[in-house]
Structure 1
Amino acid sequence: MDGLGRELIAFLKQVVWALFLVYLILLGAAYLFGKQVGFEISIWVCLGSAALVTVTFASIYICNAALIALEELVKRRRDRRAKK
């Protein structure tokens, strides 16, 4: 695996760690709000928030992976043209 692939894996580890922390915070918020307004509504609100956070993080990761793939493609084309 080249350097860009390693960077992508390292970025994925950071994203997964950040998602874990966000989910932990949302779980705590669901518990605290559940004691005040009822667990049924607070769980659904926090699950909706978790879904939005997941979609946001996934789109950031996909954009990052696409940019890395594009960078590798440009690098290969540049190397091919340099050999000619």
Structure 2
Amino acid sequence: MTEPVFRVLRGQPDEPELVALTVALVVLAATNPAPPPTPPLPHRRPAWIAQRYQPPGAWSRETAVPANGRGRSNIRSLL
């Protein structure tokens, strides 16, 4: 047996009352259809990731190149 679609919480309705309630619920469901599902939004990366965000004071290649232009340096040449 299938589960009931609705149930009466109080009282003892007879069969004609249950039929009237069922008809009323069917009419309400037919006149007020469920809204169509909304399509999901396309997945987009946050703008700050797309722009390769670097906060102020972040390490970057420009600040780490030695002043003498050579590939190696000591800490004094970076200061």
- The alignment's TM-score, normalised by the length of structure 1, stands at 0.25
Instruction: Tell me which structure has the larger Cα radius of gyration.
Output: 2
Structure with greater proportional helix content: 1
TM-score of the superposed pair, with normalisation by structure 2: 0.26
Q: Which gives a bigger RCO, structure 1 or 2 (Cα 8 Å, sep 6+)?
A: 1
